[in-house]
């Protein structure tokens, strides 16, 4: 696992925003723009989707991304690919070193199955994604929700293919930085999950910074 720091300075950014846990965010990146996602307090799960903004039916694909790089884990050098194979983003810096693209987003159903049937009503990333999507373009529906990336989440995959939601390896101030290779819509749900021990039952804010290049 190699950790790569970024040469970019926050003073040079064109955008800088604090996003509390439980909130959603959309942004259209132009080709060449660079997005940094900062895990301000450590081990926050940042559930993220990417769409080709010029063709919203084409969205991030975990399968195309993993097969394209012959590696299950996402870190510096990873090219995030859409269903069509189109390159949407490239990870250009990473001080955490591991990000999950298998575990999916939390939902009312997963609250019920993973934690307790009585918790289905609680906030979840799938609802946040759907709310943000419908505000962005009312033609987007549930079927447009695709597999997502969970930045800063550590989900090791065992040789037998089983998944484990392990303790995080991120820490306060760690970040991942992505260069947009296309006109890319980014959709984030900063996870509101209060039932997951891997964030110590305490979801925390993130910071989003964008540079022109
Ligand atoms: Zn979540």
Residue among 35, 57, 72 at smallest CA distance from 145: 57
Distance of CA 183 from the midpoint of ligand 1 (Å): 26
Distance of CA 150 from the midpoint of ligand 1 (Å): 9
Average pLDDT of the residues in 176-203 = 90
Distance of CA 133 from the midpoint of ligand 1 (Å): 16
Residue 2: half-sphere exposure toward Cβ, Cα within 13 Å: 7
Distance of CA 124 from the midpoint of ligand 1 (Å): 5
Distance of CA 194 from the midpoint of ligand 1 (Å): 9
Q: What is the largest CA-CA distance in the chain?
A: 47
Distance of CA 107 from the midpoint of ligand 1 (Å): 7
- DSSP character at residue 133: H
- Tokens 């303790």 map to which residue? 167
Distance of CA 192 from the midpoint of ligand 1 (Å): 6
Instruction: Note the pTM of the prediction, 2 decimals.
Output: 0.94
Q: What pLDDT score does 1 carry?
A: 63
Q: What is the band of 36 on the pLDDT scale with cuts at 50, 70, 90? A: very high
CB-based contacts of 117: which residues, under 8 Å, 6+ apart? none
Q: What is the band of 49 on the pLDDT scale with cuts at 50, 70, 90? A: very high
Distance of CA 187 from the midpoint of ligand 1 (Å): 13
The whole-angstrom separation of Cα 124 and Cα 147 is 15
Average pLDDT of the residues in 29-54 = 96
Indicate the average pLDDT of the chain: 92
DSSP H or E segment with residue 65: helix 62-69
pLDDT tens for residues 63-87?
999 999 999 889 999 999 999 999 9
Q: What is the band of 158 on the pLDDT scale with cuts at 50, 70, 90? A: confident
Distance of CA 12 from the midpoint of ligand 1 (Å): 31
CB-based contacts of 45: which residues, under 8 Å, 6+ apart? 150, 151, 152, 153, 191, 193, 196, 198, 199, 203
Neighbours of ion ligand 1 (CB under 5 A): 106, 125, 191, 193
* pLDDT above 80 for 165: no
């Amino acid at each position: 696992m190699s950790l790569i720091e970024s040469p970019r300075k926050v003073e040079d950014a064109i955008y800088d925003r604090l996003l509390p846990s439980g909130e959603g965010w959309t942004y259209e990146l132009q080709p060449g723009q660079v997005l940094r996602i900062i895990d301000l307090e450590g081990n926050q799960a940042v559930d993220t989707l990417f769409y080709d903004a010029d063709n919203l039916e084409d969205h991030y694909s975990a399968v195309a991304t993993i097969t394209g790089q012959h590696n299950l884990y996402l870190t510096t050098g990873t090219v995030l690919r859409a269903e069509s194979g189109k390159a949407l983003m490239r990870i250009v810096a990473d001080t955490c070193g591991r990000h999950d693209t298998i575990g999916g987003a939390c939902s009312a159903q997963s609250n019920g199955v993973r934690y307790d049937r009585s918790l289905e009503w609680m906030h979840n990333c799938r609802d946040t994604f759907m709310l943000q999507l419908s505000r962005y373009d009312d033609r987007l529906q549930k079927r447009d929700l695709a597999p997502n990336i969970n930045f800063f989440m550590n989900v090791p995959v065992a040789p037998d293919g089983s998944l484990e939601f392990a303790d995080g390896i991120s820490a306060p101030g760690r970040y991942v930085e992505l260069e947009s290779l296309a006109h890319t819509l980014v959709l984030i749900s900063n996870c509101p999950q209060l039932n997951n021990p891997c964030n110590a039952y305490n979801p925390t804010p993130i910071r989003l910074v964008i540079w022109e290049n």
